[in-house]
Amino acid sequence: MSPTSRIRVAESADVSAEATIGDGSSVWHLAQVRESAVLGENCVIGRGAYIGTGVRLGDNCKVQNYALVYEPAVLGDGVFIGPAVVLTNDTYPRAVNPDGTLKSAHDWEAVGVTIREGASIGARAVCVAPVTIGAWATIAAGAVVTKDVPDHALMVGVPARRIGWVGRAGQPLERDGDEWRCPVTSTRYAEADGALREVTTND
């Protein structure tokens, strides 16, 4: 770490020397960042959070207290991971092989959760790999995501289902004629075939 670095790591945090931590990032008490993990700039890793081997975070991500981000998860820029969220990595989990021997790292293949730019995962939600969470989507607290989520989707329940759309500000979009409108930014969106796209001035 250079003398000009703005990286902050609490004394009780466990950060591998093989991890890469971007400038301006903070790793708080009792958090663990494993080997080959990459954190972008200005990331915040909360108390007791776990960042697995080789996990990649973009810039400006927040991983709240006691969240578990297992490898090989990939998070885009500006992703929010709420308290006690779990991103899984084992489709068919077992402690032992069929012959009763203890499983090792060589006895299964990790699969990851991919979260696109700006998406938010609410407290205690579980994302069951392999799934992709679309950009700017919001997963409600306690939801269990078992299928890919489109951009801007608002997902709730077990298993998670879409009940609406959200804008970049995180607020639910409001129906305005044939379009959707963000009540915060006034950005307009068009819906087609279960997907949402931002309406530009040229549309």
CATH value of 8-166 in 2.60.120.10, 3.40.50.2000, 3.40.640.10, 2.160.10.10? 2.160.10.10
Average pLDDT, the chain: 94
List b or e across 150-175, with b for residues whose CB sees 16 or more CB atoms inside 10 angstroms. Answer: bbbbbbbeeebeeeebbbbeeeebee
Q: What are phi and psi of 95, to 5 degrees?
A: -80, -25
Kindly state the helix (H) or strand (E) to which residue 192 belongs, with its residue range: strand 188-192
pLDDT of residue 201 exceeding 90, the answer is: no
Please tell me the pTM assigned to this model: 0.93
pLDDT of residue 6 exceeding 80, the answer is: yes
Who's near 92: CB < 8 A, 6+ residues apart?
108
Highest mean pLDDT pick, 103-112, 132-141, 192-201: 132-141
pLDDT at 141: 98
Mean pLDDT within 49-65: 98
Map out the domains of the chain as residue ranges: 8-166, 170-203
pLDDT at 202: 62
pLDDT of residue 2 exceeding 60, the answer is: no
Return the SS3 of 164: strand
pLDDT tens figures, 33-56: 999 999 999 999 999 999 999 999
Q: What are phi and psi of 25, to 5 degrees?
A: -85, 155
Burial of 24 (0-12, 13-18, 19+ CB in 10 A): middle
pLDDT tens figures, 156-176: 999 999 999 999 999 999 999
- What is the rounded distance in angstroms from the CA atom of residue 171 to the CA atom of residue 182? 7
* Beta strand 74-75 pairing with 86-87: unpaired
pLDDT of residue 68 exceeding 50, the answer is: yes
